[in-house]
């Protein structure tokens, strides 16, 4: 296991400390939170933890079933106690960029139904300003080239359709992903989110504003849990 992967595993496991028996838990998507899902499954099998989960992607759904976490539909319950998910970047105001795994729409639906959100990441994801990671935007397939052009005009940067080889990446919802290469200069993510969502053809944008309550961050000195002083866990 590489040093980076070991750090991701450490952070993913540490985030499980927020999960208690009886909770309804949102299960995020990505290379770090997969360790959280595996650890929750282990705690259920070995320690008697009792939870139900709502996955944010088909990949997470498959993993959760494999490790024995019972799953429920979000529509069948009255909200979630917590969601644990990854992030591509987070800034000093605990605003996030997410969507590197192309699951941003489902991730945001689950996050907005959760009483708290904990992000697991390694310290490469901590930034002074959002935007070095290309901003993912989920768009409808209908005339998606026109939507991407409109995004380029709005954001005044290069916006491209995310590809996997010769084919466009298709989300679990049957949509496409546009990546906006803005650079680390997103100073008002709240206003930017609203402006992007105002474009017809945009389904959702990977700016998660006012949602993150804590970050479990793994670095060379170990795991650090950083609580948002304005968050719901403070």
Choose the catalytic residue: 107, 113, 193, 224: 107
DSSP E strands: which ranges in the chain? Answer: 24-27, 52-55, 82-85, 89-90, 96-97, 117-122, 135-139, 158-161, 163-164, 167-168, 176-181, 202-205, 207-208, 214-219, 222-227
CA 113 vs. chain centroid, Å, equals 14
Active site (annotated) includes residue 47 = no
Give dist(CA 101, CA 69) in Å, integer: 22
Give dist(CA 112, CA 3) in Å, integer: 33
- Taking CA atoms, 79 is separated from 34, 170, 220, in Å, by 22, 28, 36
Give dist(CA 104, CA 88) in Å, integer: 11
- Positions marked catalytic: 107
């Amino acid at each position: 296991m590489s040093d980076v992967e070991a750090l991701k595993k450490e952070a993913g496991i540490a985030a499980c400390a927020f999960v208690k028996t009886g909770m309804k838990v949102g299960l995020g998507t990505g290379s770090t939170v997969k360790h959280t899902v595996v650890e929750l499954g282990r705690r259920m099998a070995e320690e008697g933890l009792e939870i139900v989960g709502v996955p944010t992607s088909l990949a997470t759904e498959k993993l959760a079933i494999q490790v024995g976490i019972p799953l429920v539909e979000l529509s069948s319950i009255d909200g979630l106690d917590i969601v644990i998910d990854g992030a591509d970047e987070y800034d000093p105001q605990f605003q996030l960029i997410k969507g590197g795994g192309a699951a941003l729409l489902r991730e945001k639906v689950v996050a907005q139904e959760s009483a708290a959100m904990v992000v697991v990441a390694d310290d490469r994801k901590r930034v002074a300003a959002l935007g070095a990671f290309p901003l993912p935007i989920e768009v409808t397939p209908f005339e998606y080239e026109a939507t991407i052009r409109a995004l380029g005009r709005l954001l005044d940067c290069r916006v491209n359709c995310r590809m996997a080889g010769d084919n466009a990446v298709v989300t679990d919802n049957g949509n496409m992903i546009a990546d906006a290469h803005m650079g680390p200069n997103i100073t008002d993510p709240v206003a930017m989110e609203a402006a992007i969502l105002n474009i017809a053809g945009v389904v959702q944008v990977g700016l998660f504003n006012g949602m993150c309550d804590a970050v479990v961050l793994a670095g060379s000195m170990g795991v650090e849990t950083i609580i948002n002083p304005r968050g719901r866990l403070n």
